[in-house]
Structure 1
């Protein structure tokens, strides 16, 4: 299951980059796949099931931004590949991350969380008879900001 989610996350991340700036780099596939897996694991195993989607998305955006900073320091600053440079944008850190892109990751993270939940749910619905060890899933539901779901 995680391999499938990694491939989906990697592909979606590269598509977002191509749509946003017209090109991508092969390393972004791995970063995107890793981010998608971590978002799913966070949602499945760490955060409470009734946490509002907005807070899940903010936490995921923090994780994505942290991973982008780490990867950016390695591939841009250390290896000099110049995949991206945000040094011209306000509130940037070493040109690798900035507030603007952190804020954009929040709605993208919310969509990713929902997608991850539905993939897991539909996978279970389609294949639980063939794989008896699959964890049972209930239909995804969310609270956007607060309250009980």
Structure 2
């Protein structure tokens, strides 16, 4: 999961930078939430189903798919995606002198 978290954080930056940080935050959040959820599903199938590590199990949660993803955690990941989008943009600006991100709500 740590590897997936790092991959997702890099995705947050790449998707924002590739659009010049001009897309509305809600579109970036939607894109990142889908990416994170897809990554969690793929990682869950590999880690929990194939390797039998039983790291997490959402089978008791509402609106779940194969016990690997569920809507309540997708909502949580959307909030974390917003934080990741802002953090990745400003870290790139302050640490690597990239273009300063300008965020738009609509």
Aligned to 1:55: 27
Two-structure CA RMSD over aligned residues (Å)? 1.3
The corresponding residue for 1:35 is 8
Which portions of structure 1, spanning 4 or more consecutive aligned residues, are displaced by more than 6 angstroms? none
Q: Give me the TM-score of the superposition, normalised by structure 2.
A: 0.92
> What are the within-5 Å matches in structure 2 for residues 13-28 of structure 1?
28=1
Larger radius of gyration: 1
CA contact (8 A) 2:22 2:102 kept: no
Contact 2:12 2:85 in 1 (8 A): yes
Q: Does 1:107 find its partner at 2:79?
A: yes
Deviations 1:49-75 (A, max 9, x none): 321111101110110000000000000
2 CA distance for matches of 1:67 and 1:90?
20
Q: Identify which of structures 1 and 2 has the higher relative contact order when contacts are C-alpha pairs closer than 8 Å and 6+ apart.
A: 2
- Correspondence for 1:80: 52
Structure 1 residue 104: Cα displacement: 1.0
Match of 1:91 among 63, 79, 90: 63
Summarize the Cα distance change of 1:107–1:39 in structure 2 as closer, same or farther, 3 Å threshold: same
User: What is the aligned residue count?
Assistant: 106
TM-score if structure 1 supplies the norm length? 0.67
Contiguous gaps of at least 5 residues in structure 2: none
Give structure 1 stretches of 5+ with no counterpart: 1-27, 126-135
